[in-house]
Structure 1
Amino acid sequence: MGPPGRAESPRWRIAADAETVERDLTRLVLTLVELLRQLVERQSVRRMDQGDLSDEQIETLGVTLMRLEEAMDDLCDRFGLTPADLNLDLGPLGTLLPTDR
């Protein structure tokens, strides 16, 4: 009990089981990886458009980015997530990831 005249403050409890925590943590990590993958992809396209890369570098980047995208799709499937699950809603700012994928 607290001091007289003071209302007892409710105890905050978070009801989280191990499965929920693991899924949410996985979702957060995959969201960050997807954000970085998209940023690298945009930077690569920008460099290609500027002519900063050789044909061999463009080919290597293309294959690497395709493999990364496939790996992300595989991880999402493995954990039962969709690309939409990785797109955090930032309220008035919109979503973290573009929705045109």
Structure 2
Amino acid sequence: MSGHGPAPGERKRPPSASPPLEGVGAALGDAFRLLKAPPTPADEPVRPAHRIRTDRESVEEDLLKLVLTVVELLRQLMERQALRRVDAGDLTDDQEEELGATLMALHDTLSDLCVEHGFTLQDLNLDLGPLGPLLPPADREPE
């Protein structure tokens, strides 16, 4: 079948070109290798790094917390973009006022949802390990 071209839906690639995702697998393998837990001394019992709670209540709570975290991240990103547009003079005074009121209402609603479900906005900040926290501290202006 070498003279018939690529199969339907398949792109023909020049023989010298490497697959576009070839390096991605190696990079992911390296990342997983680096993320392995450090070796434990021989006299210490081996323990799992984390316990996963799979009961219905904890799964629902964790999912809600994740959704609230994503909403807070998006709110902060929109707020930063709004500040950039205000600083650049891209918005009219009415648009600035409406955008500010909308972002404040979103913040208040998110805060109310957190209180209703027993979280604080600080609880939504995921620890990304060596990368640091997902969200900037509340008392610090984003860069």
Q: Distance in 1 between matches of 2:118 and 2:62?
A: 11
Of 36, 42, 49, the match for 2:80: 42
1:75 match: 113
Higher relative contact order (CA 8 A, sep 6+): 1
Question: Runs of 5+ in structure 1 lacking a partner?
Answer: 1-12
Structure with bigger helix share is 1
TM-score if structure 1 supplies the norm length?
A: 0.83
Of 128, 133, 140, the match for 1:90: 128
The aligned runs of 1:1-101 (5 Å cut-off) are: 15-101=53-139
**Cα offset, 1:14, TM superposition:** 5.1
Instruction: Give the number of equivalent residue pairs.
Output: 89
Task: Give identity over the alignment, percent.
Answer: 62
Deviations 1:53-99 (A, max 9, x none): 00000000010011000000011011111111100000111000001
Q: Computing the radius of gyration over CA atoms, which structure comes out larger, 1 or 2?
A: 2
Q: Distance in 2 between matches of 1:72 and 1:58?
A: 21
TM-score if structure 2 supplies the norm length?
A: 0.60
**Cα offset, 1:100, TM superposition:** 2.6
Q: Secondary structure at the match of 1:98?
A: coil
Runs of 4+ in 1 over 4 A off after TM superposition: none
